[in-house]
């Protein structure tokens, strides 16, 4: 167990080694147990976390705020549009100044080609940890919660378990690709055989694909790509199907929206779920476009673990905050 994570940033999924991720999970499970027993966990008493949002949030804001309160600290919610960022505050100034005001800086910035660069620029100039609440490339806290949830349902030994990370149709907007990219990077490290299913226009970033293939080789797992949703679902242990945009294929959002409309049949429904193993679980980071991206029958059905998954965001985040900010 690697226990010294004090002062560390978590921006990309591979910023923590596999052993360090295992430490995070051990702490997260312990915090969840203690909450069930109403035990106090004031590990960050009088500490303050800045939460800087460039993009709206439900679960991320709620889970970070609740988590800091459970740890005895306080979370300051800051919307970028209410600041002077648009009037000249640079990432350097945010890092320098917030790094002096706060004990940690959490940022959500998903603008394509901008978000991850912004987080790294803040981190370069901050004396306190910078935590990625989601950028255009990675969503590490969602992925930690997902891993925690899979271990709860399938056991700690995930070797040879088949996980499908699938694109799904959604008409609302071109969603970030950070969730599937985090999943294909992290899950092979824990022995899962990952199948990425997506239409040809919905590729992930080439550098992320190379890193995912390297993780699979390093940890003796499998990573493959298919362009057929039903083929991917066959005999799966975990189904994780959500939408993301065609940003790698085209930078034009209007063209991307037209491409999305071609694939309205990429919906997770009861028929497709029946192709997976009988005890397969359905996962989604939420919010989902109901009856467009996934049917109500699947979302609210016995194989769905989406609410446990959402709860585990809080426990996983508490673990990282306690380890890095304590």
CA atoms within 13 A on the CB side of 154: 27
- Whether residues 46 and 185 fall in one domain: no
- Whether residues 211 and 267 fall in one domain: yes
Strand partners, 134: 108
- Whether residues 147 and 295 fall in one domain: yes
pLDDT, tens digit, 9 for 90 and up, residues 58-85 = 999 999 999 999 999 999 999 999 999 9
Within a domain: 4? no
pLDDT band of 253, cuts 50, 70, 90: confident
User: Mean pLDDT throughout 280-305?
Assistant: 97
The pairing of beta strand 223-226 with beta strand 281-283: unpaired
CB-CB contact of 236 with 162 (8 Å):
yes
pLDDT, tens digit, 9 for 90 and up, residues 86-114 = 899 999 999 999 999 999 999 999 999 99
- Whether residues 302 and 214 fall in one domain: yes
- Whether residues 286 and 146 fall in one domain: yes
Within a domain: 115? yes
Range(s) of the domain holding residue 196: 140-309
- Whether residues 86 and 207 fall in one domain: no
CB-CB contact of 134 with 262 (8 Å):
no
What pLDDT score was predicted for residue 200?
97
Within a domain: 298? yes
Q: Diameter of the chain by CA atoms?
A: 55
pLDDT, tens digit, 9 for 90 and up, residues 196-207 = 999 999 999 999
- Whether residues 162 and 273 fall in one domain: yes
User: Mean pLDDT throughout 161-180?
Assistant: 93
Residue where the block lists tokens 């909450």: 35
Within a domain: 8? no
Within a domain: 266? yes
Within a domain: 2? no
- Whether residues 262 and 272 fall in one domain: yes
User: Mean pLDDT throughout 289-295?
Assistant: 96
319, two tokens: 């673990």
DSSP state letter for 258 = H
CA distance 162 to 192: 6
Poorest-pLDDT segment among 87-91, 210-214, 270-274: 87-91
CA distance 284 to 323: 27
CATH code at position 277: 3.40.50.1370
Residue 173 has pLDDT above 80, yes or no: no
CA distance 5 to 16: 9
Residue 254 has pLDDT above 90, yes or no: no
- Whether residues 134 and 44 fall in one domain: yes
CB-CB contact of 188 with 223 (8 Å):
yes
C-alpha torsion 171→139→150→234, nearest 10 = 40
What pLDDT score was predicted for residue 81?
92
What pLDDT score was predicted for residue 172?
67
Rounded to the nearest integer, the mean pLDDT of the chain is 97
CA distance 283 to 248: 24
Within a domain: 81? yes
CA atoms within 13 A on the CB side of 255: 9
Q: Tally the domains of the chain.
A: 2
Within a domain: 1? no
- Whether residues 300 and 164 fall in one domain: yes
- Whether residues 147 and 256 fall in one domain: yes
- Whether residues 185 and 49 fall in one domain: no
């Amino acid at each position: 167990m690697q226990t010294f994570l004090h002062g560390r940033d978590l921006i990309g999924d591979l910023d923590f080694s596999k052993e360090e991720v295992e430490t995070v999970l051990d702490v997260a499970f312990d915090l969840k147990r203690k909450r069930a027993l109403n035990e106090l966990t004031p590990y960050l008493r009088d500490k303050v976390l800045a939460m800087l949002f460039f993009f709206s949030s439900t679960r991320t804001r709620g889970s970070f705020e609740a988590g800091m309160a459970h740890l005895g600290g306080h979370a300051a919610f800051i919307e970028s549009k209410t600041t002077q960022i648009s009037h000249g505050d640079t990432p350097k100034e945010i890092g320098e100044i917030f790094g002096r005001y706060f004990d940690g800086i959490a940022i959500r910035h998903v603008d394509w080609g901008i978000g991850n660069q912004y987080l790294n620029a803040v981190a370069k100039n901050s004396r306190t940890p910078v935590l990625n609440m989601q950028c255009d490339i990675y969503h590490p806290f969602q992925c930690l919660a997902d891993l925690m949830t899979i271990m709860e349902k399938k056991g700690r030994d995930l070797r040879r378990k088949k996980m499908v990370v699938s694109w799904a149709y959604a008409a609302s907007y071109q969603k970030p690709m950070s969730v599937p990219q985090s999943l294909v990077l992290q899950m092979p490290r824990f022995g899962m055989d990952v199948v990425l299913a997506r239409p040809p226009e919905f590729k992930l970033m080439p550098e992320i694909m190379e890193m995912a293939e390297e993780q699979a080789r390093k940890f003796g797992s499998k990573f493959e790509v298919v362009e057929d949703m039903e083929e991917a679902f066959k005999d799966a242990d975990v189904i994780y199907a959500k939408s993301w945009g065609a940003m790698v294929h085209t930078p034009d959002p209007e063209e991307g929206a037209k491409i999305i409309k071609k694939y309205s049949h990429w919906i997770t429904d009861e028929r497709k779920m029946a192709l997976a193993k009988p005890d397969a679980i359905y996962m989604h980071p939420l919010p989902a476009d109901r009856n467009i991206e996934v049917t109500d029958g699947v979302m609210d059905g016995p194989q769905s673990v989406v609410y446990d998954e959402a709860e585990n965001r809080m426990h996983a985040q508490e673990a990282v905050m306690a380890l890095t900010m304590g």
